Amino acid sequence: MASLSIQNVKKSYGAIEVLKGIDLDLEDGEFLVLLGPSGCGKSTLLNMIAGLDTITDGEILIDQNVVNDVHPKDRDIAMVFQSYALYPNMSVARNIGFGLEMRKVTKEDREKRVDEAARMLQIDHLSDRKPAQLSGGQRQRVAMGRALVRDPEIFLFDEPLSNLDAKLRVEMRTEIKKLHQRLGTTMVYVTHDQIEAMTLASRIAILREGEVQQFASPQEVYEKPANMYVAGFVGSPPMNFVPAAVVSEDGKLGVSIERTANGNRSSVFLALPDDRQDVGDWIGRDVILGIRPETLTHRSDAEISLNKGLQAFDCQVEVLEPTGADTLTYIELGGREVIARVNPYNTTAPGETMAFMVDMGKASLFDPKTELRI
């Protein structure tokens, strides 16, 4: 177990800057997920932590030691690859034990630890097989076993689940979570799947074009996204963005949204809760209102009376997408298509008007120019 500190780390290939100064600090035992689309630099960062890529500028510290020039094998890390990278010429047991062999662990000790790891991952019956004789899930487990057996300071995962089918992916996700809970080892996990990130991480770092957009706990990332990019990347279906203007109506601060219904232009006023009086400076200016689909639903007067943050309005329904638990209801707000999550028993047929309410207490406001959270 170890702490990990990444300080102003940069990476460039010639004139192309892949990482533009990353700062991340990780406590002992944390589970960090590096989340971002492909090409954002997350794998490069992981490789740099592993020592598989050189650092152009900045420092990486493991347990307060700068490791920039330390060879991977001396960093005491283990890594699970997307392709599993199992040695095709070695049996499962040899694969798992190879790292120990390289570290000159005695044969006896090695066998004991390999056995222990294999049992933990329920692959002990496969010890003599070659990787080519294994299924995808089994290979994944072997790859995990190879990392596990070393009992490293830090585990690194490079999209380890992306080659599995949907069901296995969920299963393995849980296993990784359990593993972390059991071992308590510091882990760094790269993925482009926000659900994996949300479920696994103790903290998520969202990367975009070589820069950290937000580095926070999953909940904070979800509820208080630092900018529109993060807001749009996390959550499914994604957050709705509605152009709006901050106005003061009847002494109440709120946002006004333009909309066109049956050829008539009108506007909706949604008041902001009292704790958002800080946006007073923005009166008369345009903002982007960010609403998560589950905070926008059919109107329930009972709830409105309980929660001051809930604001009601009517709107014509355009499309319905039932998902079972909820029905995604598409409406138009501020010239944008907006999704609401509605209880299936409260829906209206498309084309008809329905009453909605939105929890403005959970809404986000963004500066349309900088896209940053207000």
Partner 1 sequence: MADLSALPGGKSPWQSAARFGLYALLLIFAAYYILPLIVVLSTSLKDLDEIRNGTLLSLPAEINFDAWGYAWNEACIGVSCTGLKPYFWNSVAMTIPAVLISTILGALTGYSLTKFKFKGANLIFAMILFGCFIPFQVVLLPMAQSLGYLRIANTVPGLVLVHIVYGLPFTVLFFRNYYVNIPDDLIKAATIDGAGFFMIFWRIMLPLSPPIIVVTIIWQFTQIWNDFLFGASFTTGGGQPVTVALNNLVNTTTGVKRYNVDMAAALITAAPTLVVYVLAGRYFVRGLTAGSVKG
Partner 2 sequence: MMSLMTQKSIPAKKPLSDWFRRNVAKLVVAPTFGLIIFFVYGFIAWTGYVSFTKSKMLPTYSFEGFYQYIRLWKMTPWNVAMENLLVFGSLFILIAIVLGCLLAIALDQKVRAEGVLRTVYLYPMAISFIITGTAWKWILNPGLGIQNLVQSWGWESFSFDWLINSEMAIYTLVIAAVWQSSGFVMALFLAALRGVDSEIIKAAYLDGASLSRIYLVIILPTLRPVFLSCFFILTHMAVKSFDLVVALTGGGPGYSTIMPANFMYEMTFRRNQIGLGAASAMMMLATVMAIVIPYLYSELREKKNG
For binding to partner 2 (CB under 8 A), which residues are involved?
62-63, 65, 67, 69-71, 74-76, 113, 116-117, 120, 148, 151, 153, 183
List interacting residues with partner 1 (CB under 8 A).
47, 50-52, 72-73, 77-79, 81-89, 98-99, 102-103, 146, 150
Smaller CB separation from partner 2, 82 or 316:
82
* 87 interacts with, out of partner 2, partner 1, none, CB within 5 to 8 A per kind: partner 1
Minimum Å distance from CB 185 to partner 2? 9
* 146 interacts with, out of partner 1, partner 2, none, CB within 5 to 8 A per kind: partner 1
Smaller CB separation from partner 1, 146 or 292:
146
Smaller CB separation from partner 2, 15 or 302:
15
Show the 3-state SS of the chain.
Answer: CCCEEEEEEEEEECCEEEEEEEEEEECCCCEEEEECCCCCCHHHHHHHHHCCCCCCEEEEEECCEECCCCCHHHCCEEEECCCCCCCCCCCHHHHHHHHHHHCCCCHHHHHHHHHHHHHHCCCHHHCCCCHHHCCHHHHHHHHHHHHHCCCCCEEEEECCCCCCCHHHHHHHHHHHHHHHHHHCCEEEEEECCHHHHHHHCCEEEEEECCEEEEEECHHHHHHCCCEHHHHHHCCCCCCEEEEEEEEEECCEEEEEEEEEECCEEEEEEEECCHHHHHHHHHCCCEEEEEECHHHEEECCHHHHHHCCCEEEEEEEEEEEEECCCCEEEEEEECCEEEEEEECHHHCCCCCCEEEEEEEHHHCEEECCCCCEEC
Smaller CB separation from partner 1, 1 or 374:
1
Minimum Å distance from CB 151 to partner 2? 5
* 373 interacts with, out of partner 2, partner 1, none, CB within 5 to 8 A per kind: none
* 63 interacts with, out of partner 1, partner 2, none, CB within 5 to 8 A per kind: partner 2
Smaller CB separation from partner 2, 103 or 285:
103
* 77 interacts with, out of partner 2, partner 1, none, CB within 5 to 8 A per kind: partner 1
